[in-house]
Chain A
Amino acid sequence: MSLSLAYPRVTTVGDFLALLKPRVMSLVVFTGLAGIVAAPGHLHPLTAFTALLCIAVAAGASGCLNMAYDSDIDALMSRTATRPIPMGYVAREDALAFGWALCIGAIATMGLFVNFLAAGLLAFTVFFYVVVYTLWLKRRTPQNIVIGGLSGALPPAIGWAAVTGDLSLAPLLLVAIIFMWTPPHFWALSLWRSDDYARAGVPMLPVVKGKAHTRLQILLYTMILVPLGVAPAALGIGGVLYLAAAGLIGVWFLVEAVLVYRETDAVKEPAAHRLFGVSLLYMTALFAALIVEKLAGVPPLTLSLAL
């Protein structure tokens, strides 16, 4: 006797872990760690671990809630159709309960053991991603990922606030860098996934305004991002290593954005694939440089303006 393929299998622990979007979570943890390490002051290692854990759990829970609220459109797109809810492995109601319980737990723990500013920022991040982006903007405007990108940009500020208990221009600059990085990163993806988004009725930029307009927007955002990415080196946050990473990979990023703008293969979109990869490398390199410099004791550049 063989099992019917239409019958969903039993729910596993792995299904619940998959709901937490581990790959997205890892980038959020990484930028949050950079905020903790780059911030002036001291934080007990266990408190730093707790802060990072709260950021990770809240980010994962936000991803879980996103999958629950968007399970109808996820089922229509090839990239997301194999997620646990559209596959029938996890009930939507279970995912909602799981996600909200983790969110509340993570925010409460942050407030209890770290500080209220970090907890407030974490709560705002979850609210912005789940309510503003997922429930409101995503299905209504091609600016969805531009505005919604704020939620993904906030972890360095949460990490910074966990250490200092306040905010300054330095963490907001790190937030601004991720905020400006998000549109070219996701629009590159949407260039070769535009059919998917169109089928699901998600108004991504290539679907609403066309690919030529998207290519121009990618280039414009990258032209603002690259100089912004160098700014921490001039403002007393980054040192020589950071400047080299932001400058060199930034120029590479810009070259790839120009190639996307001049792309003629609108089916395979090879330039967009490359840009997507370089954008990930860029983000990783910038924040890795911040962490390495701080841990190795590399001083910020001497011409810097202390913040």
Chain B
Amino acid sequence: MRDREQWAKERRKRNIALALALGAVAILFFLMSIVQWHENFGH
């Protein structure tokens, strides 16, 4: 029982970490798109 709780807790932590990493990548892609647009068409 305790093992199962521990397993669920670690799985939740892994999911949060994955969501944060993917969210950070999405934000980075969005910001880099702006930078690219600015450098190519902004002058």
**Would you call A13 and B17 a contact (CB within 8 A)?**
yes
**Would you call B7 and A10 a contact (CB within 8 A)?**
yes
Give the complex CA separation of A47 and B28 in angstroms: 10
Interface of A is mostly: helix
**Would you call A12 and B13 a contact (CB within 8 A)?**
yes
Contacts of A9 in B (CB 8 A): 6
Contacts of A11 in B (CB 8 A): 10, 14
Q: Which of A12, A53, A105 has the most CB of B within 10 A?
A: A12
Give the complex CA separation of A44 and B35 in angstroms: 8
**Would you call A12 and B32 a contact (CB within 8 A)?**
no
**0/1 string, B21-40, CB within 8 A of A gives 1:** 00001001101100110010
**Would you call A46 and B6 a contact (CB within 8 A)?**
no
Q: How far is the CB of A84 from chain B (nearest CB, A)?
A: 13
Interface size class of B (residues with CB under 8 A): 10 to 19
Give the complex CA separation of A163 and B35 in angstroms: 15
**Would you call B10 and A46 a contact (CB within 8 A)?**
no
**Would you call A50 and B28 a contact (CB within 8 A)?**
yes
Chain A residue nearest to B6 (CB atoms) is A10
**0/1 string, A226-244, CB within 8 A of B gives 1:** 0000000000000000000
**Would you call A46 and B32 a contact (CB within 8 A)?**
yes
Give the complex CA separation of A44 and B14 in angstroms: 33
Contacts of B6 in A (CB 8 A): 9-10
Contacts of B32 in A (CB 8 A): 46-47, 50, 112-113
Contact residue among A13, A44, A47, A112 (Cβ-Cβ distance under 8 Å from B13): A13
Within 8 A of B (CB), among A10-55: 10-13, 16, 44, 46-47, 50, 53
Give the complex CA separation of A3 and B6 in angstroms: 13
**0/1 string, A106-138, CB within 8 A of B gives 1:** 000100110000000000000000000000000
B residues at A contact (CB < 8 Å):
3, 6-7, 10-11, 13-14, 17, 25, 28-29, 31-32, 35-36, 39
27 CB < 8 A contacts A-B? A9-B6, A10-B3, A10-B6, A10-B7, A10-B10, A10-B11, A11-B10, A11-B14, A12-B10, A12-B13, A13-B10, A13-B14, A13-B17, A16-B14, A16-B17, A44-B35, A46-B31, A46-B32, A46-B35, A47-B32, A47-B35, A50-B28, A50-B32, A53-B28, A105-B25, A109-B29, A113-B36
Given contacts A10-B10, A44-B39, A47-B32, 8 further A-B contacts (CB under 8 A): A3-B3, A10-B6, A10-B11, A11-B14, A12-B10, A46-B35, A105-B25, A109-B29
Give the 5 A-B CB pairs with smallest separation, nearest first: A113-B32, A10-B10, A13-B17, A10-B7, A46-B35
